[in-house]
């Protein structure tokens, strides 16, 4: 039984760990369809962006494209962002290289810190360097400093707010999830223990007599498969909310 317990617990841990790993899944921060960066450069920039996201929780992306498939630069920026990340807080700057135009998409909390002025500052940093790699690198550094200053300001603001505000946020998660977790745990525990206890019953009537079938004696003399009808069910896909 101990082995079964361990196996079941491992299964639960693995499935919950998968939830964690799914939530921590890293996305491509650099969308270089214009092919202006080498593989090595892209990798380095991805590391920079990943560091920013893990520190500030904000996904900063950049795209270099040759065309926007008939959509506006901003719409195309939004499409690239939503296609590549689930992080609701973030920003993408898309550079349409053939037209020398820019598209920007900002979502979630990023809008508060990275306002229009900050976006202009980041775009200037991108344009200030002659190479694409250097430009994007400067873009990320600027974004990081803006986010750092924004966080400091936010921290200062928080010190002025009352303690109740912060404790409410923490308690909200705990109070809701404690009974839910306990309920799920008890249900799983009840099912596991009862399935083990049910093994104490080993007396049953046999369902059939297939074990006494004479080997090779089964001959199918008639066989027919008739189609009757079919049903088609259509279910609308859940749509992602537009953060803009």
Is there binding between residue 192 and other proteins (CB under 8 A)?
A: yes
C-beta of residue 24 within 8 angstroms of C-beta of residue 50: no
Identified binder of other proteins from the candidate list 39, 161, 203, 241, rule CB under 8 A: 203
| Under rule CB under 8 A, residue 47 binds other proteins | no
> Which contiguous run of DSSP H or E holds residue 101?
strand 101-107
Rounded CA-CA distance 21/18 in Å is: 5
Phi, psi of 99 (to 5 degrees): -105, -5
Q: Check residue 51 for interaction with other proteins (CB under 8 A).
A: no
Decide: is 217 part of the binding site for other proteins (CB under 8 A).
Answer: yes
Nearer to other proteins, 40 or 238 (CB): 238
Task: Verify binding: residue 222, other proteins, rule CB under 8 A.
Answer: yes
**CA gap 205, 100 in Å, rounded:** 79
148 is a contact residue toward other proteins (CB under 8 A): no
Backbone φ and ψ of 202, nearest 5°: -130, 10
Q: Does 13 bind other proteins (CB under 8 A)?
A: yes
CA distance 244 to 242: 5
Q: Which of 200, 240, 241, 242 binds other proteins (CB under 8 A)?
A: 200
Q: How far apart are CA 126 and CA 121, in angstroms?
A: 9
Among the listed residues 6, 10, 11, 196, the single contact to other proteins using CB under 8 A: 196
Residues that bind other proteins (CB under 8 A): 1, 5, 9, 12-13, 16-17, 19-20, 23-24, 173-174, 177-178, 181-190, 192-194, 196-197, 199-214, 217-237
């Amino acid at each position: 039984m101990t082995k079964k317990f361990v196996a079941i617990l491992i299964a639960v841990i693995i499935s919950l760990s998968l939830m964690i790993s799914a939530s921590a899944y890293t996305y491509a921060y650099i969308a270089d369809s214009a092919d202006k960066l080498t593989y090595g450069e892209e990798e380095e920039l991805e590391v920079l962006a990943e560091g920013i996201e893990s520190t500030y929780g904000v996904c900063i992306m950049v795209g270099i494209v040759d065309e926007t498939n008939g959509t506006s630069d901003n719409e195309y920026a939004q499409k690239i962002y939503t296609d590549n990340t689930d992080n609701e807080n973030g920003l993408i700057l898309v550079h349409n290289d053939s037209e020398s135009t820019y598209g920007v998409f900002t979502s979630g909390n990023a809008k508060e810190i990275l306002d229009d002025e900050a976006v202009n500052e980041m775009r200037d940093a991108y344009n200030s360097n002659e190479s694409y790699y250097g430009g994007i690198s400067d873009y990320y550094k600027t974004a990081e400093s803006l986010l750092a200053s924004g966080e400091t300001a936010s921290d200062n603001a928080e010190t002025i707010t009352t303690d109740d505000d912060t404790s409410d946020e923490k308690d909200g998660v705990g109070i809701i999830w404690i009974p839910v977790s306990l309920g799920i745990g008890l249900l799983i525990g009840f099912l596991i223990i009862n399935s083990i206890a049910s093994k104490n019953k080993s007396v049953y009537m046999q369902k059939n007599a297939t074990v006494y079938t004479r080997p090779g004696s089964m001959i199918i003399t008639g066989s027919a498969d008739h189609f009757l009808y079919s049903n088609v069910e259509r279910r609308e896909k859940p749509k992602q909310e537009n953060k803009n």
